[in-house]
Amino acid sequence: MKAGKMKFGIIIDSLSGEKWKYEMLHKLKEMENLECSLVIKVHDRDKHKSYKNQDQNIKDLFPYSSLKTCKVDKGVLKQRDLLHLRTYPLSFYLDLSDIRFEGEFLNLPSYGVWTFRHLKEKEPIFYELWKESSYTEVFFDRLLPNGKVQNLMKGSLPTILFSAKKHKTQLEQAILEWPAQMCRKINKGIPNAPASHEWVIEKNPPLSVLKRIRYSLRIGKHQAKRWYKRLFGYEYWNIGIVNQSLHEFLNEDPLEIEWLFPHKKLYYGDPFAYEADGELRLIFEEVDHRVVKGFISEFHLRDDGEDMGKYILRKGTMNLPTHMSYPYIVEDGNNSYCIPETSESKKVTLHQWNNETKEWREVKTILKGMAAVDSTIIHWNGRWWLFCTRASSFQTENYELHIFYSDHLLGEWKEHGANPVKYDIRSARPAGTPFVLNDVLYRPAQDCSVTYGGSIVLNKVEKLSPDEFKEKPVSQLHQSPESLYPDGLHTMSYARENLSLVDGKRIDYHPINLFKKLYLLKSKPFEKVVKSSNKRVNFIRSFSIKN
């Protein structure tokens, strides 16, 4: 049942220096059908603190809200304060204090008391960095009177090991929309998971002076590694063939990959395939060291007749002013469509292969104003579904999953009611072609927690509707350390029956790479690179394709 106009309260102890809290409250203030009726300033007797000099900007944010000062003893409000608070019929309280509330107060608002669990921990950001964890978990919970919590939203975000300040800022920016997003779900009547669990906070003892010195040295170590990679590391990707169906990847067996291009210093990634003119065509992202931006190239594989074992390489078959990558292929009837990733243009476009002109032609703009990354479409249960992440300055392209849907591929596309449906650096960003096995949909995703495109996680989709989404990881694919490309695996796609495509990453460290990166500042025009590079060549290395 959808809710009408909602009234809520805010609980604060001190907002001084916490700019992100004001930004979060601004997002709530901008929402329609939402009104702040009460601001509670709490004084925790246990901590013997009195916040007399609190930031008064809260009054400017909500000038018509009432202000109430309450005393808290071990998380419990005084009875006289409870009697007063009962006169406010509120939908929820947003708790931005560092107090863990208990008792009767939690039952007063219709949708409970909402809080960020990490606010209740002592220096939570500091300890994630101390443990050098590849990801940091953040929880947005509803407090329950029995000492448990009902999780409303959660995220697994990348840990920025080289900077505590940047890591803290990233987490703060990631959760700004969460309270507003919960309000939108309530207004749309989207059900929330009723399950509850114990409140678990790891008890971290205060770090000694010696440990704090060691912590600073660790930050310096990660900063040095970062700069070493930026100056002398160069990332290469290559395309490989796997003589298996995609569903066999669920077994987590080591993949037997035959690399199409044995040259170590080529950059071919994001491979997909389609059939045209009786031949299999691979379409992929290419990055040339003479051109700063990525572009889309193809090779036309000749696997029978006189041209057996040859291919025609065509550079720049799709070229736009922006960076291009991830040319995802969609089949609808006898038509082949391609959705290249062009997040810089903040739109998602659908291109159709034209058999007469022998070129890709733009036929539909699916999304506008959305910096969508790695858009992936599949037809499932009578609808078309588009999965993507969103690019921003805080790595959201690697952990913030969005969904859109439509009744027709070329029809109107709508936003999923729970967007963003997932925050997880380990399994959000699309990684190729989803597939169905035994009437179950599986969605490949990238695990970017350790490094971008580090491995592929296969998610089993348990719920998918215009308002609900739930999936869980069931298997993971890693590259072998002995592989020519051991440092990453971030795309798996369907080519034909019992034939799949993957790509692999290798990071090369050498002083000469510094000069190569400086050379990019003098990059040649893209058109000259393409004009001189379209050619027919023989495979240097043989490979087998099982029909």
Q: What is the CATH number of the domain that holds 97?
A: 3.40.50.170
CA–CA distances in Å: residue 185 to residues 32, 191, 303, 379, 415: 13, 8, 52, 25, 13
Task: Using alpha carbons, list the distances in angstroms from residue 412 to 110, 330, 353.
Answer: 36, 17, 21
Q: How far apart, in whole angstroms, are the C-alpha atoms of residue 109 and residue 33?
A: 17
Q: Does residue 93 sit in the same domain as residue 231?
A: no
Same domain, 113 and 78: yes
- Are residue 240 and residue 173 in the same domain, yes or no? no
User: Range with the lowest mean pLDDT among 191-195, 224-228, 256-260, 536-540?
Assistant: 536-540
Residues 166 and 293 in one domain: no
Res 537: pLDDT: 42
Same domain, 47 and 117: yes
In a domain, 531, yes or no: no
pLDDT of 538 above 80: no
Query: Do residues 118 and 249 both lie within one domain?
Result: no
1 in a domain, yes or no?
no
Tell how strand 92-95 and strand 6-12 pair up.
parallel
Residue 532 is assigned to a structural domain of this protein = no
Q: Residue 339: inside a domain, yes or no?
A: yes
420 and 342, same structural domain? yes
Which pLDDT value is given to residue 261? 75
Q: What CATH number should be reported for the domain holding residue 340?
A: 2.115.10.20
Quote the pLDDT of residue 306: 55
Mark whether 269 and 402 lie in a shared domain: yes
Same domain as 44, residue 88:
yes
Q: Encoding tokens for residue 75? A: 């998380």
Looking at the structure, tell me whether residues 191 and 253 fall in a common domain: no
Question: Sign of the C-alpha dihedral, residues 311, 315, 318, 322?
Answer: positive
Residue 363 domain boundaries: 227-520
pLDDT of residue 541: 39
For position 519, what pLDDT does the model report? 62
Structural domain includes residue 216: no
Instruction: Specify the pTM.
Output: 0.89
Indicate if 201 and 233 belong to the same structural domain: no
How many domains, the chain? 2
Per the domain annotation, does 539 fall within a domain?
Answer: no
Least confident of 182-186, 333-337, 488-492, 514-518: 514-518
Count of beta carbons in the 10 Å neighbourhood of residue 373: 23
Residue at 221 is within a domain = no
Whether residue 204 has pLDDT greater than 90: no
